[in-house]
Structure formats: structure tokens, C-alpha cells
Structure 1
Amino acid sequence: MDWKKIENVETVEDIIKESRDRAVLIFKHSTRCPISSMALDRLIRSWDHQDMGHVGIYYLDLIANRQISNSIANVFGVPHESPQVLLIKDGECFYDNSHMGINYGDLKERLETSTS
């Protein structure tokens, strides 16, 4: 996966702008949490570029960037969790999930539903 790293709050504004043209996925990852590592690994192993190449994908190391994680929670109106995925379209979070609820099939289905 070709992740774009979120390392400053300005990137959140870039995500909002990008989401007006295509769906964006944010993965908030705790580098200290084995569940987070497992969820990330499952997502990476399942990711199919043919099906999901139209999605912008962003990665946040929330241990190094907790302030940005808090900003994401505030901007998109979702409670902070870790690990967590958010799907953004037209500047709004239309789906989020965390822990073992992070599932490639669910993400793909939500994305298909949001663009139809």
C-alpha cells in the first residue's frame, strides 16, 4: 500500500479537499499495540489495488502524533479509538470502525455503497 503519512494538522485539510474528488481512508495506528499491528497487517494483506486504487490512503502514527489524532476526532465527529479506520467523502466521515471491526470486506462494501 502506498500510504501518505499524516504528520501535521494541515494534512487533515488536504484530506478534506481530496475527499471531494474521491473517497479517503485514514488508518490510525498505535505502534505500541499488538491489536493495532494485527489490524494493520490484515488490512495490508487483504488490500487489492485493482478494487481500491481509487481510494486515497493515509496513515497516522498516533503515538507520535496524538494531537493530530485528537484533531481528526474533532473535525470528523468520531470518538478517538486505536486502531481505527475512517472513510471520508465530501469532507464527512461516513464510516468508522476500530479494533477487530476493521475489515477489508466491510470497507470495500461501504466504499461501493457510497459511490453508487
Structure 2
Amino acid sequence: MKKIEQISEFDELITQQEPFFLLKHSLTCPISASAYEEYKNFDENEQAATYYLAVQEAKDLSAHIANQYGVRHESPQVLYFKNEKPVWNASHFKIKEKALKEQL
């Protein structure tokens, strides 16, 4: 799991055209802390590309993703990108290791 903070880092991921997961994580929210643990467990048990951003540290990036892809911003929120677009997303208590595995 790799942290990204810049729009340029995200844009580079998109152009690689490989599927990846991205978690929008709040550093101050207990629901987000729970989602982060589910995401971390998924990352440890699956062979998937996983990234995250801390919303408080990457507000421009978080807004860029919401605006670019028309996916309403939520935190916590996981987006699964495939073929340069989000094909699935979940937020809050729907972020579970099992739900993430089902996308693979």
C-alpha cells in the first residue's frame, strides 16, 4: 500500500492502465480508521495494487478525483480503477475486506 499526495502521482497511475484500488482516508474519523484496517488487511492478503491518500493532506487530489470522474467525494471511500476509470466504489461501513476481494 502506497500513499500518494499529488495529482501528478495519480495521473501517472491512470496512464499505466493497470487496475488499482485507492482509499480516501480521513486521519481524524473513527469510521475511516476502521475502513483503513479493512483495506490494510486486504492489501496484506491479496496481490492487488493499493494506494491511499489522507484527505487532510491531499485535498486538491481528492477534489481532482471527484471532479474528473464524477464520483461524489466521501471519506472514507475506496475506488477501484480499471481501464482508466472508476468501475466500483464503496464508502464508510461498506469498506470491507470481502467486498474488496470480490472486485478482483
Q: TM-score, normalised by structure 2?
A: 0.90
Encode CA deviations 1:56-107: one digit per residue, 9 max, x unaligned.
Answer: 1111011111111000111222000000000000101000010001112112
Q: Which residue of structure 2 lines up, in the alignment, with residue 12 of structure 1?
A: 10
Q: Does 1:31 align with 2:24?
A: no
Encode CA deviations 1:21-59: one digit per residue, 9 max, x unaligned.
Answer: x3100011000101100111122234453xx21x21111
Q: Which residue of structure 2 lines up, in the alignment, with residue 77 of structure 1?
A: 70
Q: Which residue of structure 1 lines up, in the alignment, with residue 92 of structure 2?
A: 99
Number of residue pairs aligned between Structure 1 and Structure 2: 104
Structure 1 gaps, min length 5: 112-116
Query: Which is greater in Rg?
Result: 1
> What is the root-mean-square deviation of aligned Cα atoms in Å?
1.4
SS at match of 1:60: strand
SS at match of 1:80: coil
Residue identity (%): 36
Correspondent of 1:45 among 30, 36, 41: 41
Q: Which residue of structure 2 lines up, in the alignment, with residue 68 of structure 1?
A: 61
Farther off after superposition, 7-16 or 23-32: 7-16
Correspondent of 1:87 among 73, 80, 86: 80
State how far apart, in whole Å, the 1-side matches of 2:79 and 2:91 are. 9
Give the C-alpha shift of residue 4 in structure 1. Answer: 1.7
Post-superposition, which runs of at least 4 consecutive aligned residues in structure 1 deviate over 6 A? none
Structure 2 gaps, min length 5: none
